[in-house]
């Protein structure tokens, strides 16, 4: 996740379409997030949202499901929203929690997930 956490600090160009910069970041995030979660998860699904967001679901080995979202990389990229979900279509789920996207992200996420 180190490359992702470094890349998220860049200023993202605003556009009415998905930019190459956003697509590149989404690929990097997806690759690193999946690699990080793989030992703890059965299934991971990551979406492109609007044209500057990232969201998705993952199912832990203990069958708990979580929804996550970074709403807009242009100006709302300090935290990742995370909450419990009933399934991979439950966008309203449990209460909102936020994990800072900083150098302690991995440890804070694992602590939140109780892993």
Looking at 6-106, which runs of residues are DSSP E strands? 41-49, 53-60, 65-70, 79-85, 97-100
pLDDT of 80 reads 94
> Which segments of the chain have a pLDDT < 50?
none
Q: CA angle 15-18-21, nearest 5°? A: 90
**How far is C-alpha 37 from the geometric centre of its chain's CA atoms?**
11
Radius of gyration in angstroms for the set of CA atoms belonging to the chain, rounded to a whole number: 14
pLDDT of 31 reads 96
pLDDT of 50 reads 73
pTM attached to this predicted model? 0.90
Total domains in the chain come to 1
Query: Which range marks the domain in which residue 99 is found?
Result: 2-113
């Amino acid at each position: 996740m180190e490359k992702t956490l470094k890349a998220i600090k860049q200023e993202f160009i605003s556009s009415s379409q998905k930019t190459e910069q956003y697509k590149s970041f989404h690929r990097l995030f997806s690759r690193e997030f999946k690699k990080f979660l793989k030992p703890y998860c059965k299934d991971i699904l990551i979406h492109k949202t609007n044209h500057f967001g990232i969201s998705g679901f993952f199912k832990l080995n203990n069958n708990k499901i979580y929804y996550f979202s970074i709403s807009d990389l242009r100006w709302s990229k300090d935290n990742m929203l995370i909450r419990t979900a009933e399934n991979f279509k439950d966008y309203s789920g449990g209460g909102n929690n936020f994990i800072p996207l900083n150098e302690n992200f991995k440890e804070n996420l694992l602590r939140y997930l109780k892993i």
